[in-house]
Amino acid sequence: MTTIAEYRGSKELLANLTLRELRSKYKRSFLGWTWSLVNPLVNTLVYTVVFLDFFHAHAVKGTPSGLTIYSLYLLCAMLPFNYVQSTVMGSIGSLIGNGNLIKKTYFPRDLLPAATTLSNLVSHGIEMGLLTVILVVFGQWRVLPFLPIVVLLMAVNAVFACGMALMFSIINVYFRDVEHFMAIFFLLWFYGTPIIYPLGQIGHHPLILTILKINPMTDMSTAFRAVMYNGTLPPLLPTAYFVASAVVMFAIGYKVFARMEGRLAEEL
């Protein structure tokens, strides 16, 4: 596994791998980086029409922002969740896709999922920047003083995503069904997180409430919505749980990668 000294000596390599991911992401695409904005906007439109018009969902009124716009309520939580999903799903095949490179030369192999994490973070930053502009246009100027906190929450989210990326990218080398399983898992995870519906609409079903409380993405959505949609500081305990979950996930991912990396070249 990569040592701290190796990481220090691999800054340039990590930067180059990240730039390679960024260049190849929308290579030969007519819309290019616009796709990073189109995809979440289309998803938001679909969810807004389906849940707002058909199922009569509604956004909780932002306090003290006063916002009652379901699309913005949705985006504040959906964009961070989509970042985790795209990072993990994009990293799962990163080791297999670079099998020839891994066999030919030695370099810290965990830089491959890390590069995917960073390249997706750039795209995510563009999305969140646009969302901030839209919030201000609709009168939610209170988000501006809290932008440093938004950046910190994005960093915590990246740590969480990187931990998952490390773990599942190395597991996928040994068990190639992981990629298909994770696609199903994220679908269930999305609907098991209060993103398209307010947490208060769940009712009092003990099993569902327990699952939501354990789910770190519940507290992630709470923290981002508090800062961006409400214009307040994120609640202390949910945010602390989200931060702790990110640290634990990264530690687990790091340990799993270290344990399984030894036979990586053979398995590829």
Full DSSP string of 98-135: THHHHHHS---TTHHHHHHHHHHHHHHHHHHHHHHHHH
Confidence (pTM): 0.88
- In the chain, the percentage of residues whose pLDDT exceeds 70 is 82
> Beta-carbon neighbour count of residue 151 at 10 Å?
12
Instruction: Give pLDDT, residue 1.
Output: 47
User: Biggest alpha carbon distance in the chain?
Assistant: 58
Question: Which residue in 193, 200, 196 sits closest to 219, CA to CA?
Answer: 193
Number of Cα atoms under 13 Å in the Cβ half of residue 193: 23
* Strongest mean pLDDT among 14-18, 47-51, 106-110, 230-234: 230-234
**Low-confidence winner among 26-40, 102-116, 204-218, 219-233 (lowest mean pLDDT):** 26-40
Average pLDDT over residues 19-24: 77
Domain that holds residue 219: 4-267
Between these two residues, 69 and 201, which has the higher pLDDT value?
Answer: 69
Each residue's pLDDT tens digit, 241-255: 999 999 999 999 999
Give Cα 28 to chain centroid, integer Å: 25
Instruction: Give pLDDT, residue 138.
Output: 87
Q: Judge contact between 230 and 66, C-beta under 8 A.
A: no
Each residue's pLDDT tens digit, 79-91: 999 999 999 999 9
Average pLDDT over residues 36-64: 69
pLDDT at 11 over 90: no
Mean pLDDT of the chain: 84
Output the CA angle 167-152-23, nearest 5 degrees. Answer: 60
Confidence of residue 169 (pLDDT cuts 50, 70, 90): very high
Average pLDDT over residues 121-147: 91
Q: Judge contact between 1 and 110, C-beta under 8 A.
A: yes
Between these two residues, 256 and 29, which has the higher pLDDT value?
Answer: 256
Domains: count for the chain: 1
Confidence of residue 46 (pLDDT cuts 50, 70, 90): confident
pLDDT at 238 over 80: yes
CA dist 235 and 226 (Å) reads 8
Instruction: Give pLDDT, residue 265.
Output: 67
